[in-house]
Structure 1
Amino acid sequence: MIKQLGPIAIAFLLSATHANADGQATYAKHCKGCHVAGVGQAPKPGDQAAWQPRIAKGVDAMVQTVISGKGAMPPKGTCMECDEAALTSAVEWLIAQ
């Protein structure tokens, strides 16, 4: 199947896989502790009722919430060194769960 894909499609798939891995790593290091335990009412992974209204607002709105912080979540969710792209990858990875 890969031979049927052009070089641009292959590059896109590889970059998407890399971004997914980066998002998972950022989540595991900076987000997981609170979200898995539900600290400060952080929505837990897989809790569709909690995530649906957030997802409905869109990824950009969710990333802006992470950047500014909300409730018990500090700005950037404890990842002060993360740029917007890293936070976006983490948000996308989390909502995919």
Structure 2
Amino acid sequence: MKKAFFLATVTALMLPIAANAERTGEELYNGKCVVCHASGIAGAPKLGDAAAWAPRIAKGAEALLATAKTGLNAMPPMGTCMDCTDTELTAAIDHMLSHSK
């Protein structure tokens, strides 16, 4: 019995740890971005405001990601999501854009 438990424990420890699943753009928006982008705090373009998002959209996806990563004006780097991947940030940006065209 002890040997079986030991082997099961060792086997479990040797299994690769599953990476955290990436969060969706909607999840990130609702958890992080909404704080400023729902009300337009400090000039943040509001979700759904096509006129405010148009000049940002014109800059292109890479520029929007770069801005999200470095911050701009009152927006802090990574939009306060210090553990976000580029893929997750892009998904959050895409979520906001899809609701703001």
TM-score norm. by structure 2 comes to 0.74
Query: Matches of 2:49 and 2:25 in 1, distance apart?
Result: 19
Q: Which residue of 1 aligns with 2:97?
A: 95
Q: Which residue of 2 aligns with 1:26?
A: 28
Which structure 1 residue ranges, 4+ long, deviate > 6 Å from structure 2? none
Query: Matches of 1:27 and 1:58 in 2, distance apart?
Result: 19
Q: Which residue of 1 aligns with 2:7?
A: none
Show structure 2 runs of 5+ residues with no match: 1-21
RMSD: 1.3
Query: Matches of 1:38 and 1:75 in 2, distance apart?
Result: 17
TM-score norm. by structure 1 comes to 0.77
Q: Which residue of 2 aligns with 1:9?
A: none
Q: Which has the larger radius of gyration?
A: 2
TM-superposed CA distance for 1:44, in Å, is 0.3
Sequence identity, in percent?
Answer: 45
Q: Which residue of 2 aligns with 1:81?
A: 83
| 1:58 paired to 2:60 | yes
Q: Which residue of 1 aligns with 2:74?
A: 72
Instruction: Looking at secondary structure, tell me which structure has more helix per residue.
Output: 1
Q: Which residue of 1 aligns with 2:45?
A: 43
Show structure 1 runs of 5+ residues with no match: 1-18
